[in-house]
């Protein structure tokens, strides 16, 4: 059985306390490995290693050399593409067709993109007049922030972890990653690639475990870290904020969403249905940017709903390595219980189940997995819990609207503000609605199309701060001013 250890100071090490937990396949419910659980001792060791590396070879390395190493790292992931692919698919159950195009290539690309970006970022300077007429020159310098704690989720494990580790290392920081307990494998495998390409010891460290009273809490409350970047649930973000408050840490939070899609009668129906199919059901609905609230202008409501239903009923649930599979399982039996709980609650709250609504029958080994049916509802009240809460499963509610103002008001009737999709062929409306919807990212006639130079993050309960492009530098560097009296 596969054994997954921590990666500290360039070495794979087990837990001193001997504690381990099971790595379970979400597709079958069977155990596929054991994972060491870090205690305070391993977290202390990782923080010490990361701090020492800041002033060692890594800290002294010329920028061009650091960037060349990050390019080699991305090439190193691609050279072991199939190993990363299999590890990610076994941990998550997601179809290889998805991970091959999204998780692994984008996971690797994150290192190159931020290496190229950091090399080319200017800083500001100002000349100040002084009474003696000689003046003073001010210029800004960006320094690495220091030791960064990276706490990542299970839905896109490699991609979302490197989305943070890429800019952190490009800016000269060192990191300690606490991957989700559900998906420990690719984060650990990356340690091997770090060693293979010659990233100095202590720059990249990994500790495994859970959140409260485990590696997550020990890391985020540790005195020796300089910043925390976290992607996960809003509730967890609040717990981390409290745990880190005593030491005054800069945080960057990418949290949950309850994202709307606004489908106007003047949309291209084909595109809108195809896009909403993806945004509601891709990755079994476990995408923070996914759509769980669909608002459709009344004249096209029936046709749109019928087409979406047809699409959902054509999805093929199956094993990750079956080329026919278009949807995998949820991440765990625990998450399956949560999602099925919402499926029951929707009915109790008065929903009409258009399709799905339960657990599918799966053949053979797959019968023990965390499967749920892609599900569409209508008829829920705007204040129903299924409309307010992030469910994080393959489900959406479809509701009609009658005017643009009503559509915008419905979209904004949420505590969250992560993403929105607008489907219209009217350019004026597209820009107007995009400006008025409260979300960190708004797509017009597309979904999940990402230019990594652009700001990414959420409003309200969806996060704190922006990452992406030069915006990542706000978190991963300290900006200081030098004032020189001439
Ligand atoms: P989660 O909050 O349960 O866990 C995320 C990570 O935090 C895991 O590594 C977990 O072990 C750790 N953790 C949990 N409790 C902790 C604590 N008290 N202290 C320190 N660490 C702790 O999230 P998840 O279930 O893994 O991921 C799904 C959630 O992530 C959804 O809400 C989704 O919307 C969100 N998400 C957001 C984005 C975004 O970019 N905004 C992207 C992906 C996922």
**Interhelix angle 63-79/81-92, nearest 10 degrees:** 70
Binding-site residues, ligand 1, Cβ < 6 A? 151-155, 160, 178, 180-181, 210-212, 216-217, 220, 231-233, 236, 239-240, 254-257, 288, 390, 392, 418, 458, 463
- Using 50, 70 and 90 to split pLDDT, how confident is the model at 57? very high
What are the pLDDT digits (tens) for 324-363?
999 999 999 999 999 999 999 999 999 999 999 999 999 9
Task: Give percent of the chain with pLDDT exceeding 70.
Answer: 100
Query: Residue 229 in 3-state DSSP?
Result: strand
Name the average pLDDT for the chain. Answer: 97
What percent helix, strand, coil does the chain show, rounded to 5?
40, 20, 35
Query: Can you tell me the mean pLDDT for 172-201?
Result: 98
469 and 424 part of one domain: no
Residue 281 has pLDDT above 90, yes or no: yes
In this structure, how many other beta carbons lie within 10 angstroms of the beta carbon of residue 84? Answer: 24
Confidence band (pLDDT; 50, 70, 90) for 437? very high
> Residue 392 — very low, low, confident or very high, per pLDDT cuts 50/70/90?
very high
What is the pLDDT averaged over residues 429-445? Answer: 98
- Residue 335 burial (CB < 10 Å; 0-12/13-18/19+)? buried
Kindly state the average pLDDT of the residues 364-372: 98
The confidence band for 119, taking pLDDT boundaries of 50, 70 and 90, is: confident
Atom index in ligand 1 nearest the CA of residue 257 equals 34
The tally of domains found in the chain comes to: 2
Mind spelling out the 3-state secondary structure of 363-419? CHHHHHCCCCCCEEEECCCCCCHHHHCCCCCCEEEEEEECCHHHHHHHHCCCCCCCE
Within 171-268, residue ranges assigned H as helices are 185-197, 215-220, 234-244
Distance 372 CA to ligand 1 centre (A): 21
Q: How far is the CA of 233 from the centre of ligand 1 (A)?
A: 4
Partners of 262 in beta bridges: 295, 422
- Best mutation site among 40, 153, 157, 287 for ligand 1, i.e. most ligand atoms within 8 A of its Cβ? 153
What spacing in Å lies between the alpha carbon of 153 and ligand 1's midpoint?
Answer: 5
pLDDT tier, 1 (very low <50, low <70, confident <90, very high otherwise): confident
Mean pLDDT over 201-216 rounds to 98
* pTM summary value: 0.97
Which CATH number fits the domain that encloses residue 347? 3.40.309.10
Please check whether residues 250 and 295 belong to one and the same domain.
no
Position 7 pLDDT exceeds 90: yes
Collapsing DSSP states into helix, strand and coil, what is residue 124?
A: coil
**Does residue 240 sit in the same domain as residue 300?**
no
What would the mean pLDDT of 250-278 be, rounded to a whole number? 98
Regarding whether 191 and 103 lie in a shared domain, the answer is yes
CA–CA separation, 142 vs 485, rounded Å? Answer: 20
| Nearest of 322, 326, 373, 362 to residue 29 by alpha carbon | 362
| Pocket test residue of 232, 291, 389 for ligand 1, highest count of atoms within 8 A of CB | 232
Tell whether the model's pLDDT for residue 103 goes beyond 90.
yes
In a domain, 457, yes or no: no
Average confidence (pLDDT) over 137-163: 98
Query: Is residue 210 in some structural domain?
Result: yes
Residue 173 lies in a domain: yes
Asked whether residue 283 falls in the same domain as residue 248, the answer is no
Q: Which atom of ligand 1 is nearest to the CA of 153?
A: 26
Average pLDDT over residues 11-27: 97
Mark whether 269 and 169 lie in a shared domain: no
Structure letter (DSSP) for residue 358: S
Three-class secondary structure of residue 18 per DSSP: coil
Is residue 71 predicted with pLDDT exceeding 90?
yes
**Do 45 and 160 belong to one domain?**
yes
Is residue 331 domain-resident?
yes
What number does the ligand 1 atom closest to the CA of 458 have? 41
| Model confidence band, residue 124 (pLDDT cutoffs 50, 70, 90) | very high
Q: Among 28-37, 77-86, 112-121, 380-389, whose mean pLDDT is lowest? A: 112-121
Residue 440 forms part of a structural domain: yes
Distance CA 179, CA 4 (A): 12
Residues designated as active site: 254, 288
Average pLDDT over residues 425-434: 98
Contact 40, 71 (CB under 8 A): no
Assigned token pair, 200: 């100095």
Cβ atoms of 184 and 3 closer than 8 Å = no
Which residues contact residue 278 at a Cβ distance below 8 angstroms, ignoring those fewer than 6 apart? 447, 448
Beta bridge partners of 383: none
Here the CATH number for the domain that contains residue 154 is 3.40.605.10
Task: Yes or no: say if 369 and 26 are a contact pair by the CB < 8 Å rule.
Answer: yes
Query: Is the pLDDT reported for residue 390 higher than 90?
Result: yes
Same domain membership, residue 223 and residue 298: no
What percentage of the chain reaches a pLDDT higher than 90? 99
The rounded Å distance from CA 152 to ligand 1 centre is: 6
Answer yes or no: is 456 within a domain. no
64-68, 118-122, 338-342: which has the minimum mean pLDDT? Answer: 118-122
Sign of the Cα torsion 128, 134, 136, 137 reads: positive
Instruction: Clarify whether residues 43 and 118 are in a common domain.
Output: yes
Residue 73 lies in a domain: yes
Mean pLDDT to the nearest integer, 364-391? 98
Pairwise CA distance, residues 408 & 24, whole Å: 42
pLDDT at 276: 98
- Expressed as residue numbers, the domain containing 85 is 2-255+462-485
Mean pLDDT for the stretch of residues 111-132: 95
- Clarify whether residues 469 and 446 are in a common domain: no
Location of structure tokens 């310098």: 141
Query: Are 267 and 194 found together in one domain?
Result: no
Is the same domain home to 210 and 327? no
Taken in order 212, 48, 88, 101, is the CA torsion positive or negative?
A: positive
Inside any domain, residue 403: yes
Maximum CA extent, the chain:
85
Which of 225, 236, 240, 292, when mutated, tests ligand 1's pocket best, judged by the most ligand atoms within 8 Å of its CB?
Answer: 236
**CA 148, chain centre distance (Å):** 17
């Amino acid at each position: 059985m596969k054994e997954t250890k921590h990666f500290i100071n360039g070495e794979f090490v087990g837990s001193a306390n001997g504690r381990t937990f099971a790595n379970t396949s979400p597709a079958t419910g069977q155990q596929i490995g054991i994972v060491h659980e870090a205690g305070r001792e391993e977290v202390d060791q990782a923080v010490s290693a990361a701090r020492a590396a800041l002033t060692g070879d890594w800290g002294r390395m010329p920028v061009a050399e650091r960037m060349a190493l990050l390019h080699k790292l991305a090439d190193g992931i691609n050279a072991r593409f199939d190993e990363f692919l299999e590890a990610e698919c076994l941990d998550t159950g997601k179809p290889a067709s998805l991970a091959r195009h999204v998780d692994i290539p984008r996971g690797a690309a994150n290192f190159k993109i931020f290496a190229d970006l950091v090399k080319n970022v200017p800083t500001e300077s100002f000349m100040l007049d002084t009474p003696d007429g000689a003046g003073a020159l001010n210029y800004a310098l960006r320094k690495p922030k220091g030791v960064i704690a990276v706490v990542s989720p299970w839905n896109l494990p490699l991609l979302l972890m490197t989305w943070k580790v890429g800019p952190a290392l490009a800016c000269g920081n060192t990191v300690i990653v606490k991957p989700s307990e559900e998906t420990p494998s690719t984060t650990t495998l990356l340690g091997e690639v770090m060693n293979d390409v010659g990233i100095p010891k202590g720059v990249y460290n990994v500790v495994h475990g859970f959140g409260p009273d485990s590696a997550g809490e020990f890391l985020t409350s540790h005195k020796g870290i300089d910043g925390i970047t976290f992607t996960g649930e809003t509730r967890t973000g609040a717990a981390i904020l409290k745990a880190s408050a005593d030491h005054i840490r800069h945080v960057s939070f990418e949290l949950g969403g309850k994202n709307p899609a606004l489908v106007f009668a003047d949309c291209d129906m084909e595109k809108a249905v195809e896009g909403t199919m993806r945004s509601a059901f891709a990755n079994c609905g476990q995408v923070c940017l996914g759509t769980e609230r669909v608002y459709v202008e009344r004249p096209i409501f029936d046709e749109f709903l019928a087409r979406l239903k047809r699409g959902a009923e054509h999805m093929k649930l199956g094993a990750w390595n079956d080329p026919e599979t278009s949807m995998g399982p949820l991440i765990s039996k625990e998450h399956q219980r949560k999602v099925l709980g919402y499926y029951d609650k929707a009915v109790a709250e008065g929903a009409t189940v258009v399709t799905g609504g339960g657990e599918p029958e799966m053949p053979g080994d797959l019968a023990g997995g965390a499967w749920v049916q892609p599900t569409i509802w209508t008829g829920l009240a705007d204040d129903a819990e299924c409309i307010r809460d992030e469910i994080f499963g393959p489900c959406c509610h479809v509701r009609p609207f009658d005017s643009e103002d009503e559509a915008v008001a419905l979209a904004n009737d949420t505590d969250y503000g992560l993403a929105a999709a607008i489907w219209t062929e009217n350019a004026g409306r597209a820009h107007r609605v995009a400006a008025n919807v409260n979300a960190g990212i708004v797509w017009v006639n597309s979904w999940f199309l990402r230019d990594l130079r652009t700001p990414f993050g959420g409003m309200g309960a969806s996060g704190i701060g922006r990452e992406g492009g030069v915006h990542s530098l706000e978190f991963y560097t300290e900006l200081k001013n030098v004032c020189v009296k001439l």
